[in-house]
Amino acid sequence: MIKMGMLLGGRYEILEKIGTGGMSDVYKAMDQKLNRNVAVKVLKQEFSENANFVSKFLVEAQAAAGLMHPNIVNVYDVGEEDDIHYIVMELVEGITLKKYIEKKARLSYKEAVSIAIQVAMGIEAAHNNHIIHRDIKPQNIIISREGKVKVTDFGIAKAATSNTVTSNVMGSVHYTSPEQARGGYSDEKSDIYSLGITLFEMLTGRVPFDGDTTVAIAIKHIQEPMPSPREFVEEIPVSVEQIVLKCCQKTVDRRYQSMGELIDDLKQALVHPDEDFVQVVDPDEAGATRLVVETGEEEEEYEEYGEYEEEEEESIGFRTSTMNHTSTMKLRTGRVPEKLLEQEEEEEENRTEKVTFFLILIVGLVILALIVFMIFKIMGFFDGTGSILGEGTVTQEETAEVTMIAVVGEDEDTVTARLRALGLEVSKQYEESGSVSAGIVISADVSVGTILQEGDTVTLTVSAGKEGVAIEDVTGLSMDEAVALLQQQGFTVSTSESYSDTVEKGYVISQNPEGGQTVSKGSAVTIRISAGSDDSTVRVPSLIGLPLGNCEEELAAVGLLLGTVSETYSDTVEEDLVCEQQYGEGSYVERGTTVDVTVSLGATPASYSYQASIEAPTTEEAPQYESGTSVQIALVSDSGKTLYSASVSEFPVNISISGITSASGKIIMTYTYEAVVSEATESSAAVTEKRTGSFERAVTFTEE
């Protein structure tokens, strides 16, 4: 049982639930070891004792564990504790592409293509590691607050063998490829088909194939021609239209053969959208594969593997009731029985007849009501106020009365829910308190037992605790909604504006301080509002932490170029990764601008200093040395670097050096002296010559 505040694996502190699916829940957690927020996906308790469910749950971790790419949600860890099975992943704060499309109705071709490029780069990284995703759809693509696009949920991914796999698992039926719908093999080109459907939805705001049942949709993927996105949005450029159609060819050989090929065409479409450079081959409908239905006396059980967001159509098995028996339908290669087709046609005709009947009935009732109204109007039964003459002026039902309940000392969320259930509106204000726990209601502006009308507003005073008020997260809200919400909490709000390709105009891009932080009541909060996209400028992506080789692709995806590359030490970024970029992430620059980057040389080396008074050579060190003789002094570090060099004849010599990168070194002293070659005799003087002597002193430097 997961509880807030509990510790998983001795390091992951559960903070809050952020999502749920058919088989698992997702929590925001703090990795105490690395001091970072993560997402923890936990298998639901009712499935934890089933080895088959546990195995399927761990497929995601096994499939994605080896993938490290900026366009993939990275998997950090996997574990099991007290029958709790969990996967630890990168926490991406943002919205799914599905919700983003719903919010904007449809995307511009530039935005759609830019997102598709990033998705394709992430999938390409998986394909290069022989991993096929097999469930590409907008629900499994996340757009972070910074505009980064990431592919997630490798829940039904499969390691490829010889580039193909045979499988009876299919992703969401709206995005599944024909070969997946038939239950046949699926390979990298199946992901290309699903990405093509996703691009179609971004461009048009709808999926190309829909129906009343998952079987009907699957049949359309197999049999029906792919509609052109330009049928729904005429301004889509011809190159983008052809890219979608090539991705979604029924036959795998006619699609793009790799994500790399698709990425090249997508990038070219950004630069030359109206050029006809995509080679599209019309699908051969004669070779289309159809559906066959297998029925058995025994009911076959289908075990659904839940995703972050449950969908009814995410199933390869389709359950249908016919009279008094239940059968399970599977997709196989073959032909559809005529009986099934006739049955579907008959059902479709019945549905059409029912809809037509009800439409005629509704239209008839409306016409009848208008005729009655006009007759009463002509005969003077209405006095112009909306009431019938002689019957008084009853224009609306009286509002129901509500009795105020006790709320003091209760949790604010509980109180809010109870008051709204009574039909009352709730307003909150926060007050710091050292005696009342945060989130507990201190008082209300309406006393217990007061008679109110439905729709009246009750203002609650809620404790913010000793530490102050937790700021609401207003990102994604409209400016008016965000300002009203923050002001209601007692904050002073200021706004700024900037362009955004991912956030709709007039909506909040970011806030400072961020949502969830606790600050004093009355603090200033700045929210950044989207001014919409600017075609002449592009948003600079984050390059920090990327290998240099990935930077050029990241920049090219948004129309920018890689500039000068320099190097420096960094204590926060690992060696050979980008630690600085010329323009900050999220800033806007002209399309085609070059961006300079700096690559980390690793952590800054430790620094040492040396301060000493060097004494003259001793007799033990230099027996031949004579006081006053010139001595060459050199201070050399263990790395071989000469730190000091001088010729002196007087001692002591004071030295002070800082910024040394070695912990120790040595002093080398070199001097000259007269050596007797032969002693003097009665007939000749002594013969001498100059010789050189040297010695070393080991020294240790002091860390700065």
Q: Which of 319, 288, 305, 314 is nearest to 178 (CA)?
A: 288
Determine the Cα–Cα distance for residues 611 and 141; give it in Å rounded to an integer. Answer: 60
Determine the Cα–Cα distance for residues 576 and 435; give it in Å rounded to an integer. Answer: 52
Q: What is the CA radius of gyration of the chain?
A: 37
Catalytic-residue membership of 413:
no
Q: Determine contact, residues 101/201, Cβ cutoff 8 Å.
A: yes
Beta-ladder partners of 532 = none
Beta-ladder partners of 561 = 594
Q: Determine contact, residues 182/331, Cβ cutoff 8 Å.
A: yes
Q: What's the DSSP call for residue 334?
A: B
Beta-ladder partners of 42 = 25, 86
Q: What's the DSSP call for residue 257?
A: S
Q: Is 595 helix (H, G, I), strand (E, B) or coil?
A: strand
Determine the Cα–Cα distance for residues 27 and 41; give it in Å rounded to an integer. Answer: 6
- Those residues whose C-beta lies under 8 Å from the C-beta of residue 649, and which sit 6 or more positions away, are 628, 629, 630, 631
Handedness of CA 583, 586, 588, 593 (dihedral sign): positive
Determine the Cα–Cα distance for residues 547 and 578; give it in Å rounded to an integer. Answer: 6
Determine the Cα–Cα distance for residues 519 and 350; give it in Å rounded to an integer. Answer: 62
- Those residues whose C-beta lies under 8 Å from the C-beta of residue 454, and which sit 6 or more positions away, are 399, 400, 401, 402, 422, 423, 424
User: Which helix (H) or strand (E) covers residue 553, if one does?
Assistant: helix 548-557
Give the pairing of strands 441-444 and 325-329. unpaired
What's the token pair of residue 452?
A: 């109110």
| Catalytic option among 77, 82, 83, 135 | 135
Q: Strand 441-444's sheet: what is its strand order?
A: 425-431, 457-463, 441-444
What's the token pair of residue 194?
A: 């699903």
What's the token pair of residue 4?
A: 């807030």
Q: Is 447 helix (H, G, I), strand (E, B) or coil?
A: coil
Q: What's the DSSP call for residue 205?
A: S
Q: Distances from the Cα of 146 to the Cαs of 17, 30, 149, 541, 587, in angstroms?
A: 22, 21, 9, 8, 10
Q: Is 603 helix (H, G, I), strand (E, B) or coil?
A: coil
- Helix-strand-coil split of the chain, %, nearest 5: 25, 30, 45
Q: Is 103 helix (H, G, I), strand (E, B) or coil?
A: helix
Q: Which of 134, 178, 492 is nearest to 332 (CA)?
A: 178
Residues annotated as part of the active site: 135
